[in-house]
Amino acid sequence: MAGNYSAGSPYESDLNSLFASIVNSASISSYNHFTTAGSVSGQGAGYAAHGLYQCRGDLSLPDCATCVAGVVNQFAGVCPQKTGGVVQVVGCLVKYDCANFIGMENKTVAFRQCGKADAAVAKTVDAVLKGLSGPVGVTKLNAEYEAIGMSQCVGDLSVEMCEDCLGEAIQQLRTTCSAAVSGDMFLGKCYARTTQ
């Protein structure tokens, strides 16, 4: 659980600097991570602010920048004066903390959602999930049923950690939303989703 910081503290200054770096970077790259130098005195001394953002692979850079800026603006309301927080929306993810999490795997379920049940379409969705090995997979059984699967890891993971995380996300999605026409499984550092 994230602790709190005081308004006007050195950590707040570090966090504002981190957020500015994140927002500025999102206009030129769909992923980046940053660490501030950390305060040397006062409340929050010794705590650096670590943060990253990532946009969905199919977003344009202008849309990525808009998404990231919108998420950063949400932190004051959803994580007021917290030393760590994460907001995941459909287009992007932004995470920050005083503890370094960069390059560390996290397969904790952050969000899951299943669409309505439909056994006929669910078979198509399951076929997409079975074949999902890259960022996007499409399976079309006939003119009536088409399903699209998407998956993505946060850019700080190694290839092996990404494969492990995606394997877990896909398995949980197949188990949790087995009869659904769509589903989302967001883990701490990756996601898998299906849609019609």
Q: Alpha-carbon distance 101 to 177, whole Å?
A: 29
Measured between alpha carbons, how far is 61 from 159 in angstroms, rounded to an integer?
24
User: Tens of pLDDT along 85-140?
Assistant: 999 998 999 999 999 999 999 999 999 999 998 877 777 777 777 777 655 444 55
**Global model pTM greater than 0.85:** no
- Which amino acid is located at 49 in the chain? A
Let me know: does 91 contact 57? Beta carbons within 8 Å: no
Radius of gyration of the chain (CA): 19
107 with 188: CB under 8 angstroms?
yes
Average pLDDT, integer, range 161-176: 91
Q: Looking at the chain, how many residues does it have?
A: 196
- The encoded tokens of residue 40 equal 């040397």
How far from each other are the two terminal CA atoms of the chain, in whole angstroms? 36
The pLDDT value recorded for residue 46 is: 60
Average pLDDT over all residues of the chain: 86
Average pLDDT of the residues in 71-79:
95
**Beta strands, E only, 8-49:** 31-35
Task: Note the pLDDT of residue 133.
Answer: 61
Residue 52, CA distances (Å) to 15, 24, 115, 131, 145 in order: 12, 12, 30, 29, 37
Structure tokens given for 71: 């998420």
- Partner residues linked to 53 by β-bridges: 32, 94
pLDDT confidence band for 44 (50 / 70 / 90) = very low
